[in-house]
Amino acid sequence: MSVPGMRRAAVGLAALAATAFTAVAVNPNQAEAGPKPVDVKLLAINDFHGNLEPPTGSSGSIAGQPAGGAAYLAAHLDALRGTTEEERERTITVAAGDLIGASPLLSAAFHDEPTIEEMNLAGLEFTSVGNHEFDEGATELLRMQNGGCHPVDGCADGTPFAGANFQYLSANAFKTATGKPLLPPYGIKKVDGVKIGFIGMTLEGTPQIVSQQGVAGLSFADEADTANRYARILQAQGVQSIVVLLHEGGVQNGGGINDCVGFSGPIVDIANRMDPSIDVIVSGHTHAAYNCNINGKLVTSASSFGRLVTDIDLKVDRRSGDIVSASANNVVVTRTVDPHQATNDLITHYKTALGPVADKVVGETTSAITKTQENLYQTGIDVNGKPTYQTGESPLGNLIADAQLAATDNEQNAVAAFMNPGGVRADLDAGPVTYAEAFTVQPFANNLVTLDLTGAQLYCLLEQQFTTTKVLYASSTVHYVVDVNGTTAPAATPCSGTRVVRGSLTINGAPVTDSATYRVTVNNFLSGGGDGFSVLTGGTNAVTGMIDLDAFTAYLTEKSPVSAPALDRIQTTAEVPAA
């Protein structure tokens, strides 16, 4: 079939094509009388992030129910495969990336080997890579696939690591030196005589959201172009049923786990540009749940942390090998079933190997401190007429920024600190905080970096927040005003924006001046230009300090009991009229 050559459209317009997916005939011409189609079931997850134990707080429920936990996930997967040998042979378990990385302590302490072993137990067969699979670099990702002890820490639990029984797929991540894919680009599974092809990819923008060390020596290609290329290759091998496992996604505006309400995001344009030969897209990255029809394609996501399984039913024509219908249902991974015993045994093994450090209390909170961000100003209206917003501060983000400043104020003469919102991964519940809980909030082991920025660079940094749509969490020493009617700068000239009211930025109560120099602390992800903050790469006199988690736990210990900081570091012209 021909490959669409349309240019990438604006997401807001493309979102009009996204609707809730029930059951759709992918190829009505296949509906004529003939052999009974082959029933194939796909069970899909995404963004597990090493959540072996049941997640807690807001991350531990979905659709109003407590959900998640690897032992419950494995039990649900086993039940969904059916009871007969025929049903189980026609079921393929897949994932859309970020199975590892940003993981709680129980998995991360062993370089995510426990999660790989759990996915083996759970019967996973194919998964795409996600951006977090690159957190420790390509060599470590290959170790996850092929096995072997960690080159520095060895096999920390005292047993060999065999690697993944399932296959990582990486069609659009290439070795820059050779132009060859880092991992196999696709896989094929034969079910009752018909072939199902799986193409695996991560988002093209992975280098912008992973440390430069993590993606060193790699290049990333456009998702739709890559999918179309490999779809042709699969068709040349007689594969007509094609599924894309893609670590990129979208979000709804108010819908339930099986809805597609006000849907928008990069996946819309990508799906619209994919060849008609591609029937199903299992997606991820946004941690959202949805069940959509985009341009005749079934597009699904199972939220995150193993709280949902997407149950996808395909009917495949025996003669043509093409999918004639596809439907999906996101199923909640409840905790009311009997847990999977082998998974429980695995978790017990690693908890014993971890020892008492996980349960050590490092501080206490007076109430829950969340990562939920406030709305700064309205940015538009979605396709359903609902407002969209630029978000700003969060209580937990502010607390972490304060901790990073406290770790570097006397040591490096820092006067301000900024934290990226994507690095805050979970809420803190009220009461005692264990080391494991603190680790779950800050799991990346980034180093703090203190550097010199001029006042002009600081203003540019704050303008760049709105270009990237990622407003940084600032320490309590920083205050400024955002103009709700200001202009957002283009990426090429981030300093040209007018969102931050000139003269409003203060540090320790004193106005920031363009020519003055200020010592500022960020993490090494940001200092390397991560999340698109290129301004920080121009900082000077950089000094690398302690790990961010160490700074956080030290602050919790020193300041306990800790309360949620006020959200008063950023004000808007709606609150403080511009002069």
pLDDT at 14 over 80: no
Residue 143 sits in the same domain as residue 181? yes
Rounded Cα gap, residues 257 and 255, in angstroms: 7
Rounded Cα gap, residues 498 and 483, in angstroms: 7
Residue 250 sits in the same domain as residue 379? no
Residue listed under structure tokens 């670590």: 247
Residue listed under structure tokens 């080391």: 435
Lowest-confidence pick of 24-33, 229-238, 444-453: 24-33
Residue 325 sits in the same domain as residue 388? no
At residue 382, the pLDDT reads 81
Lowest-confidence pick of 15-29, 52-66, 248-262, 337-351: 15-29
**Residue 387: which CATH number?**
3.90.780.10
Residue 305 sits in the same domain as residue 374? no
pLDDT at 357 over 80: yes
E-only strand ranges, 333-435: 361-365, 375-381, 387-391, 416-419, 431-434
CB 462 within 8 A of CB 494: no
**Number of folded domains that form the chain:** 2
- For the segment 482-495, what is each residue's pLDDT rounded down to a tens digit? 999 999 999 999 99
Tokens of 250: 């979208």
What DSSP character marks residue 481?
Answer: E
Lowest-confidence pick of 38-42, 386-390, 395-399, 554-558: 386-390
> Does residue 293 belong to any structural domain of this protein?
yes
Residue 412 sits in the same domain as residue 264? no
Give the pLDDT band of residue 475 (cuts 50, 70, 90).
Answer: very high
Residue 399 sits in the same domain as residue 465? yes
Rounded Cα gap, residues 372 and 59, in angstroms: 12
End of a domain among 344, 372, 404? 344
Residue 412 sits in the same domain as residue 340? no
More confident site: 24 or 321: 321
User: Hey, how many other C-beta atoms are within 10 angstroms of the C-beta on 16?
Assistant: 11
> Does residue 350 belong to any structural domain of this protein?
no
> Does residue 4 belong to any structural domain of this protein?
no
At residue 212, the pLDDT reads 86
Residue 216 sits in the same domain as residue 123? yes
Residue 380 sits in the same domain as residue 335? no
Residue 531 sits in the same domain as residue 560? yes
Residue of 12, 1, 5 whose CA lies nearest to 268: 12
Residue-wise over 132-159: b if at least 16 C-beta within 10 A, else e?
bbbbbbbebbebbbeeeeeeeeeebbee
> Does residue 323 belong to any structural domain of this protein?
yes
Give the pLDDT band of residue 579 (cuts 50, 70, 90).
Answer: low
3-class secondary-structure state, position 159:
coil
Residue 317 sits in the same domain as residue 372? no
What is the mean predicted confidence (pLDDT) over 313-329?
97
> Does residue 226 belong to any structural domain of this protein?
yes
Cβ contacts of residue 355 below 8 Å, gap of 6+?
none
pLDDT at 19 over 90: no
Domain holding 163, by residue range, is: 11-344
pLDDT at 32 over 50: yes
End of a domain among 312, 344, 376? 344
Rounded-to-5 percentages of helix, strand, coil across the chain: 30, 30, 40
Q: Rg of the chain's alpha carbons, rounded to an integer?
A: 24
User: Hey, how many other C-beta atoms are within 10 angstroms of the C-beta on 542?
Assistant: 14
Residue listed under structure tokens 């707080």: 57
More confident site: 445 or 88: 88
> Does residue 506 belong to any structural domain of this protein?
yes
At residue 253, the pLDDT reads 86
The strand pairing partners of 23, in sequence order, are 327
Residue 27 sits in the same domain as residue 135? yes
At residue 66, the pLDDT reads 97
Rounded Cα gap, residues 20 and 12, in angstroms: 17
> Does residue 5 belong to any structural domain of this protein?
no
Which region holds residue 309: left if phi is over 0, alpha if psi is between -120 and 50, else beta?
beta
The number of residues making up the chain comes to: 579
> Does residue 577 belong to any structural domain of this protein?
no
In angstroms, how far is CA 554 from the centroid of its own chain?
A: 27
Share of the chain above pLDDT 70, in %: 94
Lowest-confidence pick of 24-28, 90-94, 191-195: 24-28
Handedness of CA 372, 373, 374, 379 (dihedral sign): negative
- For the segment 435-449, what is each residue's pLDDT rounded down to a tens digit? 999 999 999 989 999
Give the pLDDT band of residue 9 (cuts 50, 70, 90).
Answer: very low
Rounded Cα gap, residues 189 and 171, in angstroms: 17
**Residue 40: which CATH number?**
3.60.21.10
Cβ contacts of residue 331 below 8 Å, gap of 6+?
76, 80, 308, 309, 310, 311
Residue type, 138: A
- For the segment 124-175, what is each residue's pLDDT rounded down to a tens digit? 999 999 999 999 999 999 999 999 999 999 999 999 999 999 999 999 999 9
